[in-house]
Chain A
Amino acid sequence: MAMWFARSRNLVSILRQNLGLSATLIKRNHSSPRPVFTNYQLSSRVFLDPSTSFRHESTAVETQPDLVQQSDHEDDAQELDFPGGKVGYTSEMKFIPESSSRRIPCYRVLNEHGKIISDSDFIPVSEKLAVRMYEQMATLQVMDHIFYEAQRQGRISFYLTSVGEEAINIASAAALSPEDVVLPQYREPGVLLWRGFTLEEFANQCFGNKADYGKGRQMPIHYGSNQHNYFTVSSPIATQLPQAAGVGYALKMEKKNACAVTFIGDGGTSEGDFHAGLNFAAVMEAPVVFICRNNGWAISTHISEQFRSDGIVVKGQAYGIRSIRVDGNDALAVYSAVRSAREMAVTEQRPVLIEAMTYRVGHHSTSDDSTKYREADEIQYWKMSRNPVNRFKKWVEDNGWWSEEDESKLRSSTRKQLLQAIQAAEKWEKQPLTELFNDVYDVKTKNLEEQEVGLKALVEKQPQDYPTGFHI
């Protein structure tokens, strides 16, 4: 039997005396963090009523702590409405801690020895797909090595490797459909490789020659290809994040069965555009998959100097975005996570955040020497013991799908193909002068036409001032 009690403590004690109630007394307990009624063996729900009338009500215990007022204040009987919805009250002043006692765990499928961990959830990968994934990861490794050396030899001006992040590159690409629009940061050439960009095409972009789809307009590694739904790499960090939300919005408006996929590093999440991009994608309910490659370093800035949160995955919920942390060096885990995220993004029309944990084995770029700010031992450890390519290789080999012979054949043929591509790209002529003035606008404006005419005339008049082989 429940009693209606008056609010004030005084009244309660009066009633207590008057009604002789013992166990069923609501006591205001400052020290208890939990809803008061659970401290008592209540068999009924009790309401505090400002009036002094009593009503008997008999109900079973309900787990609605937010409806049971714990303070004596009259206001607590009001609707707990604020703009943004209903929220429960608490009389206990408690700050949410700055960090959780346990970090968000990392999803992985393969252990370090390339064995599937028992009871793993994952999407099975066929032999054909697995072999292709491995081949591409190895190709990416060879490509990075050779182009890096070419830069060191002075043949290209700049290069940026993805060493250590091959699993993220290839496995994420394998999990997407070709219609998904990719907005890369800059350490994802593997996605383009997967989609069919050839080694020759990579070389042409790096050399900025006549065959370069970018027409020599961009520095090396700023690949882009409409045909492969891979937007041209743009140097300012994180600008691709709100742009991806915009692409997602366009896909949503046109009801396409595709999503936008965009990549960012751990450092890039400090940019204002990260906040704008994620917040917006959530509000617009845009189908975007945000993949953060948390590789520990932003040039020389270690993540401990980049943020104080538990990485990036915890930020997803702050924007109302579903998120997951995955072992970025585990190709099967990355594949499963990206594939699932993609499905969610498209079918539920919502953004998803994936934090892929990994390590940047290489220097930031050819303009960097990372041994200046980190231990060579640390780099070696990740390069040898935590290598994603070796790990996946073990699994593929254990399944009998790959042999050492295949390995050496692949590596030597890829190496040969790359060296040939570089030699050819180097020799290929550069863009003609007319390309200087094209594409500034859709149609050249008059002043550009005049400038082009003027420059052509000048080159013809003073050929000795221009390099040999320079053509109009």
Chain B
Amino acid sequence: MWGILRRSAVDGGGFSASSLRRTRFSLVSARSYAAGSKEMTVRDALNSAIDEEMSADPKVFVMGEEVGQYQGAYKITKGLLEKYGPERVYDTPITEAGFTGIGVGAAYAGLKPVVEFMTFNFSMQAIDHIINSAAKSNYMSAGQINVPIVFRGPNGAAAGVGAQHSQCYAAWYASVPGLKVLAPYSAEDARGLLKAAIRDPDPVVFLENELLYGESFPISEEALDSSFCLPIGKAKIEREGKDVTITTFSKMVGFALKAAEKLAEEGISAEVINLRSIRPLDRATINASVRKTSRLVTVEEGFPQHGVCAEICASVVEESFSYLDAPVERIAGADVPMPYAANLERLALPQVEDIVRAAKRACYRSK
């Protein structure tokens, strides 16, 4: 039985200029167990999750632009058309409103669609179907119509794609009762959460990240098993600490972990929480952590006003006010539509240094 091994110096080397480098302590030298530790890219994790769920349940089918013949705009659905045929891997005409409506109708009738948006920016053309039909139907029909649908696709900023391709929709969808909203970070998150989403009888918005698709992460044997599933509504403590809590999701988890490394060099022990689930939000884990550290830095890529960070801040102030030793720090994207020029884009997104500075401020180490 494999334990989960840590490998040293894994370089993901993906699309972004600042590629993730994760250094972990190895309990035993990787060499002696070399045959065991596996790595998987997020792309392969998502692909294998969809493949296994389609294999297990004939009602699951995939729909979206370019998902079939083209193998997926980001190759997430690679190989599925050949394996399952055009009825279950359906290339749609260009109409988000259309295929989202169709997916919802198919879900009403008992199928389990996995609808791909080329990016969640385009989901706005279909947002009525997602909110007014998918999210609210179970409630409005008093349980007669349930909608076991998954909406997935890249969310948030990529690299140099401008304002209409870079917005983060986590806050928008997570404000709606009736939806579940998930945001994976690692390959294990991707596999476990997507499988959970497909199996869930409620509509799920699954927010991926384009820049993470090519990143490799270690993956356990347990996670590779086809029955593997992660619980929806539970956050993961990626790194334990005692001085300050940093909460975040998706790509920012990598940045927070790097910030934690830098903070450790300065004697600040940061606890990094990977939210995994934006709705339902794991308030219990967040608050328990804040009660331990007394300081909170909450990070997201999206726009600051009415964001996920605002909700976390409110939750902590409501439930753990007397435990806070410093005001809550929010790090979010700049309050502007995403600019294209690389230097401006970098300024518009949170960077590791911003997280480090915020943590230090929370620890009264700097202004």
A132 within 8 A of B: no
**Bound-complex Cα distance A249 to B99 (A):** 12
Proximity string of chain B (160-178) to chain A, C-beta cutoff 8 Å, 1 when within and 0 when not? 0000000000000000011
**Size category, A interface:** 35 or more
Structural contact, A440 and B138, CB atoms closer than 8 A:
yes
CA distance in complex: A126, B187 (Å) = 65
Q: Contact between A253 and B87 (Cβ–Cβ < 8 Å)?
A: yes
Give the contacts of A239-258 with B (CB-CB under 8 A).
Answer: 239-251, 253-254
The answer to whether residues A226 and B144 also contact, given A246-B109, A250-B109, A446-B280 and a CB cut-off of 8 A, is: yes
Partner of A447, one of B93, B110, B145, B283: B283
**A283 close to B (CB within 8 Å):** yes
Closest Cβ–Cβ distance, residue B181 to chain A (whole Å):
12
A232 pairs with B144, CB closer than 8 A? yes
A residues in contact with B104, CB < 8 Å: 242-243, 246
Q: Is there contact, CB below 8 Å, between A247 and B132?
A: no
Q: Assuming A242-B98, A279-B98, A442-B146, is B106 touching A250 (CB within 8 A)? A: yes
Per-residue contact bits, chain B 62-97, to A (CB 8 Å; 1 contact, 0 not): 000000000000000000000000010010110101
A218 to B142, CA, bound (A): 9
A193 to B110 alpha-carbon distance, docked (Å): 25
Residues of chain A within 8 A (CB-CB) of B39 are none
Sorting the interface of chain B by its residue count into under 10, 10 to 19, 20 to 34 or 35 or more gives 35 or more
Say yes or no: B98 contacts A446, CB within 8 Å.
Answer: no
Q: Does residue B218 face the partner (Cβ distance < 8 Å to A)? A: no
CB distance from B102 to the nearest CB of A (A): 4
Q: Is the CB of A243 within 8 A of B133?
A: yes
Residues of chain B contacted by A270 (CB below 8 angstroms): none
Q: Which B residues lie within 8 Å of A435 (CB)?
A: 142
Give the interface segment out of A17-25, A55-63, A79-87, A209-217: A209-217
**Contacts A250-B110, A253-B111; A234 near B133 (Cβ below 8 A):** yes
B101 touches A276 (CB 8 A): yes
Contact B97 A272 (CB under 8 A): yes
Measured in the bound complex, the distance between the Cα atoms of B106 and A251 in whole Å is 9
A-B contact count (CB 8 A): 154
**B339 interface residue per 8 A CB criterion:** no
Neighbour of A224 across the interface among B103, B132, B144, CB < 8 A: B144
Q: Are B202 and A226 interface neighbours, CB within 8 A?
A: no
* Distance A244 CA – B129 CA, assembled complex (angstroms): 13
Contact A247 B109 (CB under 8 A): yes
Q: Is B139 an interface residue (CB 8 A)?
A: yes
Of residues 412 through 464 on chain A, the ones whose CB sits less than 8 Å from some CB of chain B are: 435, 438-442, 445-447
Give the CA-CA distance A212 to B140 in the complex, in Å: 11
**B209: interface (CB < 8 Å):** no
Q: Which residues of A contact B87 (CB under 8 A)?
A: 253
Q: Decide if A277 is an interface residue (CB 8 Å cutoff).
A: yes
A283 to B100, CA, bound (A): 15
A396 within 8 A of B: no
Task: Give the residue name and chain of the B residue nearest to A216 (CB).
Answer: B142
Q: Kindly identify, within residues 280 to 325 of chain B, every residue whose CB is under 8 Å from any CB belonging to chain A.
A: 280-281, 283-284
> Which residues from A are CB-within-8-Å of B141?
214, 217, 224, 226, 231-232, 439
Q: Is the CB of B102 within 8 A of A243?
A: yes
Query: Do A247 and B105 touch (CB < 8 A)?
Result: yes
Q: Are A250 and B111 in touch, CB under 8 angstroms?
A: yes
A residues within 8 A CB of B146? 442
Chain B residues at the A interface, C-beta cutoff of 8 Å: 61, 87, 90, 92-93, 95, 97-111, 113, 128-129, 132-133, 137-146, 177-178, 180, 200-202, 233, 280-281, 283-284
For the A-B complex with A181-B109, A214-B142, A250-B109 known, give 20 more contacts whose Cβ atoms are closer than 8 Å.
A215-B143, A218-B140, A222-B140, A224-B145, A226-B141, A232-B140, A242-B104, A243-B104, A243-B108, A243-B133, A245-B98, A246-B106, A247-B106, A253-B61, A276-B93, A284-B102, A439-B139, A441-B178, A441-B202, A447-B283
A-B contact pairs, 17 of them (CB 8 A): A214-B140, A231-B145, A240-B105, A243-B101, A243-B105, A246-B108, A247-B108, A251-B109, A253-B61, A272-B95, A275-B98, A276-B101, A438-B143, A440-B138, A441-B202, A442-B138, A442-B146
